[in-house]
Amino acid sequence: MDKTGTEKEDRAMITVENLIKDFPGDVRAVDDISFRVEKGEIFGFLGPNGAGKTTTIRAIVTLLKPTSGKILVDGFDVTKNPQAIRERVGYAAQFIGVDDDLTAHENLILQARLHNISTREAKKKANELLEIMDLQDVAKRRAGTFSGGMRRRLDLAQALVHEPHLLFLDEPTTGLDPQNRRALWGHLRKLNESGLTIFLTTQYMEEANTLCERLAIIDQGRIQIEGSPAELKATLGGEAITVTLPETAQQDVFERTRSILDGMSGAAETKSYNHSVAVFLEHGSSRLAEVVRALDSADVPVARLELAQPTLDDVFLRHTGERLRVEETKRPSMRRPHGRSKQR
Protein backbone atom coordinates (compact mmCIF):
# COMPACT_ATOMS: atom_id res chain seq x y z
CA MET A 1 0.00 0.00 0.00
CA ASP A 2 1.36 3.46 -0.90
CA LYS A 3 1.00 6.76 1.00
CA THR A 4 -2.38 7.51 -0.62
CA GLY A 5 -3.90 4.28 0.64
CA THR A 6 -3.89 2.63 -2.77
CA GLU A 7 -3.43 -1.13 -2.78
CA LYS A 8 -1.31 -1.77 -5.88
CA GLU A 9 -1.50 -5.55 -6.04
CA ASP A 10 -4.99 -5.47 -7.57
CA ARG A 11 -5.63 -3.03 -10.41
CA ALA A 12 -9.15 -4.07 -11.28
CA MET A 13 -11.60 -1.15 -11.28
CA ILE A 14 -13.75 -2.90 -8.63
CA THR A 15 -12.87 -5.80 -6.37
CA VAL A 16 -15.51 -7.10 -3.96
CA GLU A 17 -14.62 -9.88 -1.54
CA ASN A 18 -17.12 -11.64 0.77
CA LEU A 19 -19.42 -8.63 1.00
CA ILE A 20 -22.24 -8.92 3.55
CA LYS A 21 -24.78 -6.23 4.34
CA ASP A 22 -27.35 -6.73 7.09
CA PHE A 23 -30.21 -4.45 8.08
CA PRO A 24 -32.20 -4.32 11.33
CA GLY A 25 -34.74 -7.07 11.75
CA ASP A 26 -32.41 -9.90 10.68
CA VAL A 27 -32.57 -8.78 7.03
CA ARG A 28 -29.53 -9.89 5.02
CA ALA A 29 -29.72 -7.90 1.79
CA VAL A 30 -26.32 -9.01 0.47
CA ASP A 31 -25.08 -12.46 1.42
CA ASP A 32 -21.32 -13.04 1.09
CA ILE A 33 -20.75 -12.07 -2.56
CA SER A 34 -17.44 -11.69 -4.39
CA PHE A 35 -16.74 -10.37 -7.90
CA ARG A 36 -14.52 -7.99 -9.84
CA VAL A 37 -15.02 -5.47 -12.61
CA GLU A 38 -12.20 -4.80 -15.05
CA LYS A 39 -11.27 -1.32 -16.24
CA GLY A 40 -13.04 -0.28 -19.42
CA GLU A 41 -15.81 -2.89 -19.40
CA ILE A 42 -19.57 -2.74 -18.95
CA PHE A 43 -20.48 -5.04 -16.10
CA GLY A 44 -24.04 -5.79 -15.08
CA PHE A 45 -26.09 -7.11 -12.19
CA LEU A 46 -29.20 -8.88 -13.49
CA GLY A 47 -31.92 -9.66 -10.99
CA PRO A 48 -35.39 -8.86 -9.65
CA ASN A 49 -36.33 -6.14 -7.19
CA GLY A 50 -35.07 -7.00 -3.72
CA ALA A 51 -32.19 -9.13 -5.02
CA GLY A 52 -29.48 -6.94 -3.47
CA LYS A 53 -28.46 -4.96 -6.55
CA THR A 54 -28.99 -1.46 -5.18
CA THR A 55 -27.55 -2.33 -1.76
CA THR A 56 -24.35 -3.57 -3.40
CA ILE A 57 -23.96 -0.39 -5.44
CA ARG A 58 -24.57 1.82 -2.41
CA ALA A 59 -21.91 -0.05 -0.47
CA ILE A 60 -19.41 0.38 -3.31
CA VAL A 61 -20.04 4.12 -3.68
CA THR A 62 -19.71 4.62 0.11
CA LEU A 63 -23.40 5.39 0.79
CA LEU A 64 -23.77 2.27 2.95
CA LYS A 65 -21.25 0.78 5.35
CA PRO A 66 -20.70 -2.95 4.75
CA THR A 67 -21.44 -5.29 7.62
CA SER A 68 -18.35 -7.24 6.61
CA GLY A 69 -16.17 -7.90 3.61
CA LYS A 70 -13.77 -5.88 1.50
CA ILE A 71 -14.37 -3.45 -1.37
CA LEU A 72 -11.69 -1.80 -3.50
CA VAL A 73 -12.45 0.82 -6.16
CA ASP A 74 -9.58 1.74 -8.47
CA GLY A 75 -7.29 0.37 -5.78
CA PHE A 76 -8.81 2.35 -2.89
CA ASP A 77 -10.51 0.69 0.08
CA VAL A 78 -14.03 2.07 0.66
CA THR A 79 -13.64 2.03 4.43
CA LYS A 80 -10.15 3.55 4.49
CA ASN A 81 -10.35 6.19 1.77
CA PRO A 82 -14.00 6.93 0.92
CA GLN A 83 -13.29 10.45 -0.37
CA ALA A 84 -10.94 9.14 -3.05
CA ILE A 85 -13.69 6.83 -4.25
CA ARG A 86 -16.31 9.59 -4.32
CA GLU A 87 -14.00 11.62 -6.53
CA ARG A 88 -13.69 8.73 -8.97
CA VAL A 89 -17.28 7.55 -9.34
CA GLY A 90 -20.46 8.88 -10.89
CA TYR A 91 -23.80 7.54 -9.66
CA ALA A 92 -27.20 7.77 -11.34
CA ALA A 93 -29.72 6.25 -8.94
CA GLN A 94 -33.12 4.74 -9.70
CA PHE A 95 -34.77 8.04 -8.81
CA ILE A 96 -33.96 10.87 -11.20
CA GLY A 97 -32.28 13.70 -9.31
CA VAL A 98 -32.81 16.77 -11.47
CA ASP A 99 -34.34 20.06 -10.29
CA ASP A 100 -37.55 20.71 -12.22
CA ASP A 101 -37.34 24.47 -11.68
CA LEU A 102 -33.91 24.79 -13.29
CA THR A 103 -33.03 24.55 -16.96
CA ALA A 104 -30.94 21.67 -18.24
CA HIS A 105 -27.93 23.99 -18.42
CA GLU A 106 -28.48 25.27 -14.88
CA ASN A 107 -28.85 21.75 -13.49
CA LEU A 108 -25.46 20.77 -14.88
CA ILE A 109 -23.74 23.95 -13.69
CA LEU A 110 -25.15 23.42 -10.20
CA GLN A 111 -23.93 19.83 -10.11
CA ALA A 112 -20.48 20.88 -11.32
CA ARG A 113 -20.19 23.59 -8.69
CA LEU A 114 -21.08 21.01 -6.02
CA HIS A 115 -17.96 19.16 -7.18
CA ASN A 116 -15.89 22.35 -6.63
CA ILE A 117 -15.51 22.97 -10.36
CA SER A 118 -15.04 26.66 -11.21
CA THR A 119 -17.98 28.55 -12.71
CA ARG A 120 -16.17 29.03 -16.00
CA GLU A 121 -15.24 25.36 -16.27
CA ALA A 122 -18.72 24.32 -15.12
CA LYS A 123 -20.34 26.22 -18.00
CA LYS A 124 -17.93 24.64 -20.48
CA LYS A 125 -18.55 21.15 -19.09
CA ALA A 126 -22.33 21.70 -19.14
CA ASN A 127 -22.24 22.63 -22.82
CA GLU A 128 -20.12 19.58 -23.66
CA LEU A 129 -22.41 17.17 -21.83
CA LEU A 130 -25.58 18.66 -23.30
CA GLU A 131 -24.15 18.00 -26.75
CA ILE A 132 -23.07 14.45 -25.86
CA MET A 133 -26.57 13.67 -24.55
CA ASP A 134 -28.33 15.36 -27.50
CA LEU A 135 -29.88 17.96 -25.21
CA GLN A 136 -28.22 21.08 -26.63
CA ASP A 137 -31.45 22.21 -28.32
CA VAL A 138 -33.31 22.21 -24.99
CA ALA A 139 -30.51 23.60 -22.84
CA LYS A 140 -32.57 26.64 -21.79
CA ARG A 141 -35.78 24.70 -21.08
CA ARG A 142 -36.86 23.90 -17.54
CA ALA A 143 -36.28 20.24 -16.69
CA GLY A 144 -39.87 19.95 -15.48
CA THR A 145 -41.02 20.12 -19.11
CA PHE A 146 -38.83 17.21 -20.24
CA SER A 147 -39.99 13.75 -21.26
CA GLY A 148 -38.87 10.70 -19.27
CA GLY A 149 -36.09 9.90 -21.73
CA MET A 150 -34.78 13.47 -21.74
CA ARG A 151 -34.83 13.59 -17.94
CA ARG A 152 -32.89 10.34 -17.71
CA ARG A 153 -30.24 11.66 -20.13
CA LEU A 154 -29.93 14.86 -18.10
CA ASP A 155 -29.58 12.83 -14.91
CA LEU A 156 -26.85 10.77 -16.58
CA ALA A 157 -25.08 13.96 -17.66
CA GLN A 158 -25.10 15.14 -14.04
CA ALA A 159 -23.28 11.97 -13.01
CA LEU A 160 -20.55 12.77 -15.54
CA VAL A 161 -19.75 16.42 -14.76
CA HIS A 162 -16.67 15.59 -12.68
CA GLU A 163 -15.29 13.14 -15.29
CA PRO A 164 -15.50 9.97 -13.17
CA HIS A 165 -13.42 6.88 -13.87
CA LEU A 166 -16.40 4.66 -13.08
CA LEU A 167 -20.12 5.18 -13.68
CA PHE A 168 -22.83 3.41 -11.68
CA LEU A 169 -26.30 3.16 -13.18
CA ASP A 170 -29.06 1.68 -11.04
CA GLU A 171 -31.76 0.38 -13.41
CA PRO A 172 -31.21 3.33 -15.78
CA THR A 173 -34.01 2.53 -18.24
CA THR A 174 -36.84 1.50 -15.90
CA GLY A 175 -39.98 3.33 -16.93
CA LEU A 176 -38.67 4.31 -20.37
CA ASP A 177 -40.42 3.21 -23.55
CA PRO A 178 -38.49 0.89 -25.92
CA GLN A 179 -37.39 3.74 -28.21
CA ASN A 180 -35.93 5.83 -25.39
CA ARG A 181 -34.41 2.72 -23.83
CA ARG A 182 -32.49 1.88 -27.00
CA ALA A 183 -31.43 5.50 -27.47
CA LEU A 184 -29.94 5.52 -23.97
CA TRP A 185 -28.11 2.28 -24.75
CA GLY A 186 -26.45 4.08 -27.65
CA HIS A 187 -25.24 6.87 -25.37
CA LEU A 188 -23.86 4.34 -22.87
CA ARG A 189 -21.94 2.49 -25.60
CA LYS A 190 -20.32 5.74 -26.73
CA LEU A 191 -19.32 6.58 -23.16
CA ASN A 192 -17.82 3.13 -22.74
CA GLU A 193 -15.94 3.40 -26.03
CA SER A 194 -14.33 6.58 -24.67
CA GLY A 195 -12.82 4.49 -21.86
CA LEU A 196 -15.42 4.83 -19.10
CA THR A 197 -16.05 1.75 -16.95
CA ILE A 198 -19.77 1.21 -16.40
CA PHE A 199 -21.52 -0.86 -13.73
CA LEU A 200 -25.27 -1.16 -14.23
CA THR A 201 -28.10 -3.01 -12.60
CA THR A 202 -31.08 -4.10 -14.64
CA GLN A 203 -34.21 -6.25 -14.72
CA TYR A 204 -34.19 -6.37 -18.51
CA MET A 205 -32.75 -9.45 -20.20
CA GLU A 206 -32.32 -7.63 -23.51
CA GLU A 207 -30.48 -4.76 -21.81
CA ALA A 208 -28.04 -7.13 -20.11
CA ASN A 209 -27.51 -9.13 -23.30
CA THR A 210 -27.00 -6.00 -25.44
CA LEU A 211 -24.79 -3.89 -23.19
CA CYS A 212 -22.87 -6.09 -20.78
CA GLU A 213 -19.55 -7.69 -21.62
CA ARG A 214 -19.90 -9.63 -18.37
CA LEU A 215 -22.71 -9.91 -15.88
CA ALA A 216 -23.71 -11.61 -12.67
CA ILE A 217 -27.16 -12.99 -11.97
CA ILE A 218 -28.06 -12.07 -8.40
CA ASP A 219 -31.04 -13.36 -6.47
CA GLN A 220 -31.89 -13.21 -2.76
CA GLY A 221 -28.63 -11.44 -2.02
CA ARG A 222 -26.41 -14.07 -3.63
CA ILE A 223 -24.59 -14.26 -6.94
CA GLN A 224 -25.88 -17.35 -8.72
CA ILE A 225 -23.58 -17.30 -11.77
CA GLU A 226 -21.21 -14.89 -13.51
CA GLY A 227 -19.75 -14.58 -17.02
CA SER A 228 -20.33 -13.10 -20.46
CA PRO A 229 -23.84 -13.49 -21.90
CA ALA A 230 -22.51 -16.05 -24.39
CA GLU A 231 -20.72 -18.03 -21.65
CA LEU A 232 -23.80 -18.09 -19.45
CA LYS A 233 -26.03 -19.33 -22.26
CA ALA A 234 -23.46 -21.99 -23.20
CA THR A 235 -23.66 -23.47 -19.68
CA LEU A 236 -27.18 -24.68 -20.42
CA GLY A 237 -25.81 -27.39 -22.68
CA GLY A 238 -28.27 -27.31 -25.54
CA GLU A 239 -31.41 -25.87 -27.02
CA ALA A 240 -34.45 -25.11 -24.91
CA ILE A 241 -37.52 -27.30 -25.36
CA THR A 242 -40.58 -26.06 -23.50
CA VAL A 243 -43.69 -28.20 -23.09
CA THR A 244 -46.78 -26.22 -22.12
CA LEU A 245 -49.57 -28.27 -20.58
CA PRO A 246 -53.28 -27.44 -20.45
CA GLU A 247 -54.38 -25.25 -17.55
CA THR A 248 -56.46 -28.18 -16.29
CA ALA A 249 -53.44 -30.52 -16.05
CA GLN A 250 -52.99 -32.13 -12.63
CA GLN A 251 -49.74 -32.43 -10.66
CA ASP A 252 -49.21 -36.03 -11.76
CA VAL A 253 -49.14 -34.86 -15.39
CA PHE A 254 -46.40 -32.35 -14.57
CA GLU A 255 -44.41 -35.02 -12.76
CA ARG A 256 -44.81 -37.44 -15.67
CA THR A 257 -43.69 -34.78 -18.14
CA ARG A 258 -40.62 -33.93 -16.08
CA SER A 259 -39.74 -37.60 -15.74
CA ILE A 260 -39.91 -38.10 -19.51
CA LEU A 261 -37.76 -35.06 -20.30
CA ASP A 262 -35.28 -35.84 -17.51
CA GLY A 263 -34.85 -39.35 -18.89
CA MET A 264 -33.79 -38.28 -22.38
CA SER A 265 -30.12 -38.65 -23.20
CA GLY A 266 -28.19 -35.37 -23.07
CA ALA A 267 -30.92 -33.63 -21.06
CA ALA A 268 -30.01 -31.00 -18.49
CA GLU A 269 -32.08 -30.42 -15.37
CA THR A 270 -35.73 -29.64 -16.07
CA LYS A 271 -37.59 -26.69 -14.58
CA SER A 272 -41.32 -26.11 -14.13
CA TYR A 273 -43.03 -22.72 -14.15
CA ASN A 274 -46.64 -21.66 -14.67
CA HIS A 275 -48.11 -24.44 -16.85
CA SER A 276 -44.84 -25.36 -18.57
CA VAL A 277 -41.89 -27.71 -18.19
CA ALA A 278 -38.57 -26.70 -19.80
CA VAL A 279 -35.47 -28.78 -20.52
CA PHE A 280 -32.18 -28.07 -22.29
CA LEU A 281 -31.40 -30.87 -24.70
CA GLU A 282 -28.31 -31.51 -26.79
CA HIS A 283 -29.15 -31.27 -30.50
CA GLY A 284 -32.70 -30.37 -29.51
CA SER A 285 -33.75 -29.23 -32.99
CA SER A 286 -33.09 -32.68 -34.48
CA ARG A 287 -34.81 -34.48 -31.60
CA LEU A 288 -38.21 -32.84 -31.54
CA ALA A 289 -39.86 -35.89 -33.11
CA GLU A 290 -38.31 -38.04 -30.38
CA VAL A 291 -39.72 -35.74 -27.71
CA VAL A 292 -43.19 -35.77 -29.29
CA ARG A 293 -43.24 -39.58 -29.50
CA ALA A 294 -42.18 -39.94 -25.86
CA LEU A 295 -44.85 -37.54 -24.65
CA ASP A 296 -47.50 -39.16 -26.82
CA SER A 297 -46.62 -42.65 -25.56
CA ALA A 298 -47.11 -41.45 -21.99
CA ASP A 299 -50.47 -39.80 -22.82
CA VAL A 300 -49.20 -36.34 -21.92
CA PRO A 301 -51.67 -33.68 -23.16
CA VAL A 302 -49.52 -31.02 -24.85
CA ALA A 303 -50.99 -27.56 -25.38
CA ARG A 304 -47.84 -26.17 -27.01
CA LEU A 305 -44.31 -27.33 -27.80
CA GLU A 306 -41.55 -24.76 -28.36
CA LEU A 307 -37.91 -24.96 -29.42
CA ALA A 308 -35.53 -22.02 -28.93
CA GLN A 309 -31.87 -21.15 -28.59
CA PRO A 310 -30.86 -20.54 -24.95
CA THR A 311 -31.48 -17.03 -23.61
CA LEU A 312 -30.50 -15.17 -20.46
CA ASP A 313 -34.07 -15.74 -19.30
CA ASP A 314 -33.36 -19.48 -19.53
CA VAL A 315 -30.12 -19.01 -17.56
CA PHE A 316 -32.05 -17.13 -14.88
CA LEU A 317 -34.65 -19.90 -14.76
CA ARG A 318 -31.96 -22.57 -14.46
CA HIS A 319 -30.21 -20.90 -11.52
CA THR A 320 -33.16 -19.42 -9.61
CA GLY A 321 -36.02 -21.74 -10.49
CA GLU A 322 -38.24 -18.97 -11.85
CA ARG A 323 -38.57 -16.47 -14.66
CA LEU A 324 -37.48 -12.89 -14.05
CA ARG A 325 -40.54 -10.66 -13.79
CA VAL A 326 -39.92 -7.02 -14.60
CA GLU A 327 -41.72 -4.73 -12.18
CA GLU A 328 -42.76 -1.49 -13.87
CA THR A 329 -44.77 0.02 -11.04
CA LYS A 330 -43.46 3.56 -11.46
CA ARG A 331 -42.11 5.80 -14.17
CA PRO A 332 -38.90 7.69 -13.33
CA SER A 333 -39.47 10.02 -10.40
CA MET A 334 -39.97 13.72 -11.11
CA ARG A 335 -37.98 14.73 -8.05
CA ARG A 336 -35.30 13.34 -5.80
CA PRO A 337 -36.98 11.52 -2.88
CA HIS A 338 -36.68 13.11 0.56
CA GLY A 339 -36.43 9.80 2.41
CA ARG A 340 -34.67 6.51 1.92
CA SER A 341 -36.13 4.12 -0.56
CA LYS A 342 -37.32 0.92 1.06
CA GLN A 343 -36.30 -1.03 -2.01
CA ARG A 344 -33.07 -2.93 -1.57
Can you give the CATH number for the domain in which 303 is found? 3.30.70.980
Which of the two residues, 84 and 342, has the higher pLDDT score?
84
Closest CA to 88 of 159, 153, 11: 159
What CATH number should be reported for the domain holding residue 224?
3.40.50.300
- The answer to which of 33-42, 226-235, 245-254, 277-286 has the lowest mean pLDDT is 277-286
Helices (H), 140-250: 148-158, 178-193, 205-211, 229-234
Q: How many domains does the chain have?
A: 2
Euclidean distance between CA atoms 28 and 24, whole angstroms: 9
Residue 272 is assigned to a structural domain of this protein: yes
Question: Taking the CB of residue 83, how many other CB atoms lie within 10 A of it?
Answer: 9
If pLDDT is split at 50, 70 and 90, which confidence band does 326 have? low
> HSE of 215 in the Cβ direction (CA atoms, 13 Å)?
29
On whether both 222 and 242 belong to a single domain, the answer is no
Which amino acid is located at 197 in the chain? T
Residue 30 is assigned to a structural domain of this protein: yes
**Residues with Cβ < 8 Å from 78, sequence gap 6 or more?**
59, 60, 62, 66, 71, 72, 85
Residue finishing a domain among 217, 232, 247: 232
On whether both 147 and 264 belong to a single domain, the answer is no
If pLDDT is split at 50, 70 and 90, which confidence band does 333 have? very low
pLDDT at 331: 41
What pLDDT digit, counting tens, does each position of 303-314 carry?
A: 999 998 888 988
Which of the two residues, 8 and 131, has the higher pLDDT score?
131
**Residues with Cβ < 8 Å from 225, sequence gap 6 or more?**
216, 217, 232, 235, 315, 319
On whether both 225 and 265 belong to a single domain, the answer is no
SS3 category, 43: strand
On whether both 155 and 249 belong to a single domain, the answer is no
If pLDDT is split at 50, 70 and 90, which confidence band does 327 have? low
Residue 315 is assigned to a structural domain of this protein: no
Domain with 132, as residue range(s), is 14-232
What value does the mean pLDDT take over residues 49-59? 93
On whether both 171 and 269 belong to a single domain, the answer is no
Euclidean distance between CA atoms 225 and 294, whole angstroms: 33
Q: Is the pLDDT of residue 341 over 70?
A: no
- The answer to which of 9-13, 57-61, 320-324 has the lowest mean pLDDT is 9-13
Which of the two residues, 79 and 330, has the higher pLDDT score?
79
Report the predicted TM-score, pTM, of the whole model to 2 decimal places.
Answer: 0.79
Residue 337 is assigned to a structural domain of this protein: no
On whether both 127 and 225 belong to a single domain, the answer is yes
On whether both 86 and 185 belong to a single domain, the answer is yes
Residue finishing a domain among 183, 207, 232: 232
Residue 159 is assigned to a structural domain of this protein: yes
What value does the mean pLDDT take over residues 3-24? 77
Closest CA to 88 of 187, 5, 22, 181: 5
Q: Is the pLDDT of residue 134 over 80?
A: yes
Q: Is the pLDDT of residue 8 over 70?
A: no
pLDDT at 95: 83
